[in-house]
């Protein structure tokens, strides 16, 4: 039995909350995206509201709920038949995840599924891998975790989620816009991801998804208005990233937030995120990374029911 309807995905991350609406076809429980209708990202910085005991504050929860209410209104305007929400690193690690999930449901009527790092990686790979016929190493740099997925469109051969992210590293090493610990941060990243070094001798394309890499394209190209089509499949080189990093480090937070191509809300974490990308490229001995606009949202759209 074939059914065509509109479906929404809400991705609750450590740094952002994203909405994706599509018209889909469901035939014998196999879902296909027919038409992409709407995408939006709000920077919620949920991870910044997590204390040392891994408890997310009421303020952070309420800020998230306001964004989900806003997204629900958009879903209503698009006549979405299904709204599926999932939480990643921040909610996954929080000690009060049950309270967060209950608060969201009580105030929005939307149930949140907390997914594992591996499930997150599989969805991201599924959303991106169809663009490439060759083997790829896909990296998804989030606020609290980074996923590495190696394989091709037929098979995932390696998948690992590391506790490494733009928000996490900012909180651990660059508190209060102080960047004296860059070398310590770089060494820590190298140590945590050293197991992926074995892939440097493999023949593959390095592909990156999520805000850190897309933002670096936008900044390098000085985009006053974000151009998704130009960003998709853009070759971002190590030189470009290093040039951007120099600019970021030469500015305080207030001035970084005014940079052309940079969402003001990303100004706080873009340095840590860029350092992560560079260290990944160094350990894999790659001079460029292909940026994809297709990621876990597309993967979630066709897998989560």
* 266 and 166 within one domain: yes
DSSP symbol at 177: G
For position 69, what pLDDT does the model report? Answer: 98
Residue with more model confidence, 121 or 113: 113
* 129 and 86 within one domain: no
What is the full DSSP assignment across 244-289?
Answer: HHHHHHTS-HHHHTTSTT--GGGTTTHHHHHHHHHHHHHHHT-SEE
* 141 and 245 within one domain: yes
For position 302, what pLDDT does the model report? Answer: 87
Rounded to whole angstroms, what are the CA distances from 245 to 127, 189, 211, 270, 297? 29, 17, 15, 9, 28
* Residue 302 belongs to some domain of the structure: no
* 181 and 82 within one domain: no
Question: Does 154 have pLDDT greater than 80?
Answer: no
For position 32, what pLDDT does the model report? Answer: 86
End residue of a domain, out of 114, 142, 177 = 114
3-class SS string, 180-244: CCHHHHHHHHHHHCHHHHHHHHCCCEEEEECHHHHHHHHHHCCCCCCCHHHHCCEEEEHHHHHHH
* Residue 303 belongs to some domain of the structure: no
* 229 and 207 within one domain: yes
* Residue 76 belongs to some domain of the structure: yes
The mean-pLDDT minimum among 176-180, 196-200, 257-261, 291-295 falls in 176-180
* 108 and 123 within one domain: no
Question: pLDDT exceeding 90 applies to what percent of the chain?
Answer: 69
pLDDT in tens, 121-142: 888 888 877 778 789 999 999 8
Q: Decide: 259 and 251 in contact? Cβ < 8 Å.
A: yes
Question: Does 153 have pLDDT greater than 80?
Answer: no
Q: In 10 A of CB 250, how many CB atoms?
A: 9
* Residue 158 belongs to some domain of the structure: yes
For position 57, what pLDDT does the model report? Answer: 95
Question: pLDDT exceeding 70 applies to what percent of the chain?
Answer: 100
* Residue 305 belongs to some domain of the structure: no
* 187 and 249 within one domain: yes
CATH of the domain at 66: 3.30.420.40
pLDDT interval class at 36 (50, 70, 90): very high
End residue of a domain, out of 80, 114, 148 = 114
Would you call 72 helix, strand, or coil by DSSP? helix
For position 251, what pLDDT does the model report? Answer: 92
pLDDT interval class at 258 (50, 70, 90): very high
* 259 and 222 within one domain: yes
Structure tokens at 72: 């629900």
* Residue 184 belongs to some domain of the structure: yes
For position 285, what pLDDT does the model report? Answer: 95
For position 305, what pLDDT does the model report? Answer: 84
* 283 and 172 within one domain: yes
* 135 and 107 within one domain: no
Question: Does 63 have pLDDT greater than 90?
Answer: yes
> What domain range includes position 288?
118-296
Q: Which stretch of DSSP H or E encloses residue 127?
A: helix 117-128
* Residue 223 belongs to some domain of the structure: yes
* 206 and 102 within one domain: no
For position 288, what pLDDT does the model report? Answer: 97
pLDDT in tens, 220-248: 999 999 998 899 999 999 999 999 999 99
* Residue 301 belongs to some domain of the structure: no
Strands 2-12 and 82-87, sheet pairing = parallel
For position 265, what pLDDT does the model report? Answer: 87
For position 293, what pLDDT does the model report? Answer: 86
* 139 and 12 within one domain: no
Question: Does 55 have pLDDT greater than 90?
Answer: yes
> What interhelical angle do 97-108 and 58-77 show, nearest 10?
40
For position 221, what pLDDT does the model report? Answer: 96
CATH of the domain at 239: 3.30.420.150
End residue of a domain, out of 70, 87, 114 = 114
Question: Does 110 have pLDDT greater than 90?
Answer: yes
* CB neighbour burial string for 123-160, b if at least 16 within 10 angstroms, e if fewer: bbbbbbbebbeebbbbbbbbbbbbbbbbbebeebeebe
For position 7, what pLDDT does the model report? Answer: 96
Would you call 32 helix, strand, or coil by DSSP? strand
Question: Does 94 have pLDDT greater than 90?
Answer: yes
Q: How many domains does the chain have?
A: 2
Residue with more model confidence, 153 or 23: 23
Question: Does 84 have pLDDT greater than 90?
Answer: yes
Average per-residue pLDDT for the chain: 92
pLDDT interval class at 21 (50, 70, 90): very high
Mean predicted confidence (pLDDT) in 183-209: 93
Q: Decide: 89 and 126 in contact? Cβ < 8 Å.
A: no
């Amino acid at each position: 039995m074939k059914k065509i309807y509109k479906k929404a995905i809400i991705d609750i991350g450590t740094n952002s909350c994203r909405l994706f609406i599509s018209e889909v076809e469901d035939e014998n429980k196999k879902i296909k995206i027919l038409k992409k209708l709407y995408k939006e990202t709000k920077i919620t910085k949920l991870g910044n509201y997590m204390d040392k005991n891994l408890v997310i504050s009421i303020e952070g929860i309420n800020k998230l709920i306001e964004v989900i209410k806003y997204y629900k209104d958009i879903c209503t305007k698009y006549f979405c038949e299904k709204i599926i929400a999932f939480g990643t690193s921040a909610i996954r690690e929080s000690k009060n995840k049950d309270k967060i999930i209950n608060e969201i449901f009580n105030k929005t009527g939307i149930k949140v599924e907390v997914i594992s790092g591996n499930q997150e990686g599989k969805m991201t790979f599924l959303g991106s891998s169809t663009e490439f016929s060759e083997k790829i190493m896909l990296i998804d740099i989030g606020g609290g975790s980074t996923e590495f997925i190696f394989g091709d469109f037929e098979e995932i051969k390696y998948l690992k989620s590391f506790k490494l992210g733009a928000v996490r590293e900012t909180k651990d090493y660059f508190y209060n816009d102080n960047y004296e610990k860059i070398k310590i941060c770089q060494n820590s990243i190298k140590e945590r991801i050293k197991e992926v070094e074995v892939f440097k001798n493999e023949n593959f394309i390095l592909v990156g998804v999520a805000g850190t890499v897309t933002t670096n394209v936008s900044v390098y190209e000085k985009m006053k208005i974000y151009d998704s089509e130009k960003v998709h499949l853009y070759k971002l080189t190590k030189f470009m990233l290093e040039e951007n990093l120099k600019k970021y480090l030469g500015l305080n937070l207030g001035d970084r937030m005014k940079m052309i191509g940079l969402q003001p809300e990303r100004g706080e974490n873009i340095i840590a995120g860029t350092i992560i990308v560079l260290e990944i490229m160094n350990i894999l001995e790659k001079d460029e990374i292909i940026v994809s606009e297709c990621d876990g949202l597309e993967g979630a759209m066709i897998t989560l029911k």
